[in-house]
Amino acid sequence: MKYKYKVCVYAIAKNESQFVDRWYNSVKEADEIYVLDTGSEDDTVDKLISHGINVEVEKIVPWRFDVARNKALELVPEDADICVSVDLDEVYEPGWRKKIEESWQEDTTRLRHTYNWKVEDGKPVVTFYYEKTHARKGYKWTHPVHEILSYSMGEEKIVTNESIILNHFPDPNKSRSNYLPLLELSVKENPEDDRNMHYLGREYMYYGKWNEAIETLIKHLKLKSAIWKDERAASMRFIGRCYMNLGRMDEARIWYKKAIEEAPHLRDGLVELAILESNQKNYLETINYLNRAMLIKKHEKTYINEIFSWNYTIDNLYSVSYYYLGMKDVSLFFIEKALKYDSKNELLINNKKIILENLDK
């Protein structure tokens, strides 16, 4: 098939040998493929070269994701029309190249498509939009980590094609220990950047640094540029989560309610508050928040996606609540619904066993 545009894939890699063959088969629809290897100690480079991929090797010291990605982008020739950034643990579903061609216009600068960030048992459980397909000129990567593409040639022209699907299959053993210092550096470089302030607060939370997380997330909320309600609500939820881990439940409730008010179109604040109330054995309150969450049917395609808002968690919380309220037949109904999401989940299986053993008591 004769294509209208020259499409080039580019990537960074380090010790990705296990992914090379799968990745190549996914991206080989491109006209040319370029990889910057940043110091692999396995046979990643040899495998890439065996597929005819253009490979350069350069260690980035000190390490920054934006510097590495910009050097990878520099490998792409200037006559390329469309650049596609794809990590080696990501896999395109076949036909992506043709769909890009169909969507791209002469004035397009970037393309947005579906990204399944987390896939379990062949089913996407966290999905949002990806925007890493772009014109050759005018773009560069910025920020040491959680890097983004920045455009310097006026107003962007972004097109969307949801039928282009990229799946993420990460190496669970790969360390992300450098994320925290890189995020601290990123905030130091640009303390007014709301996105990175949010990410830093979230990272502190992941590390169990509850007070640092609270302080940083409050800084995020105070920034003038922090106007995206979904992300603001996430910061509020994370503050609530930190207070819950500190055993300060009243303050946790306050922040969860702030999150619900900030983004009433999202389930997440309601479900997190339901989890808190369930842990505190306030089962009527749990059911109340779950009922409100279930009224929200639209699953927004942003990275602000909590798996527990859309999997078995809600039905399991219903089941637990009705069990302790003495309505064991209703509890059984909901645990069976939960098991339809995950029939092998040991917690759910055990809960059903307990319900059945006590159904007539």
Contact indicator for 276, 256 with CB cutoff of 8 Å: yes
Topology of 7-168 in CATH? Answer: Spore Coat Polysaccharide Biosynthesis Protein SpsA; Chain A (3.90.550)
Cis omega (within 30 of 0) for bond into 62 = yes
Place of tokens 């792409």: 76
Pairing assessment for the beta strands 158-168 and 90-92 based on DSSP bridges: antiparallel
Contact indicator for 58, 76 with CB cutoff of 8 Å: no
pLDDT score at 305: 82
Report the alpha-carbon distance of residue 239 to residue 256 in Å, rounded: 8
β partners of residue 90 = 168
Pick out the chain residues at pLDDT < 50: none
Domain ranges for the chain, please list them.
7-168, 179-305, 311-361
β partners of residue 141 = 149
β partners of residue 139 = 151
Report the alpha-carbon distance of residue 150 to residue 142 in Å, rounded: 7
Both tokens of residue 184?
Answer: 């601290």
Helix, strand, coil proportions of the chain in percent (round to 5)?
A: 45, 20, 35
Contacts 24+ apart (CB under 8 A), 150-158: 151/109, 151/110, 153/109, 156/109, 156/110, 157/105, 157/107, 157/108, 157/109, 157/110, 158/108, 158/109, 158/110, 158/111, 158/112, 158/131
Residue 121: which region, alpha, beta or left (left: phi > 0; alpha: psi -120 to 50)?
Answer: left
Phi and psi, residue 120, nearest 5°: -130, 130
Report the alpha-carbon distance of residue 32 to residue 26 in Å, rounded: 13
- Per-residue model confidence as pLDDT tens digits over 154-197: 999 999 999 999 999 998 888 888 899 999 999 999 999 999 99
Domain 179-305 class, CATH top level: mainly alpha
**At CA 27, angle to CA 25 and CA 29, rounded to 5?**
95
Report the alpha-carbon distance of residue 333 to residue 320 in Å, rounded: 11
For the chain, how many residues are written? 361
Residue 326: which region, alpha, beta or left (left: phi > 0; alpha: psi -120 to 50)?
Answer: left
Report the alpha-carbon distance of residue 315 to residue 232 in Å, rounded: 27
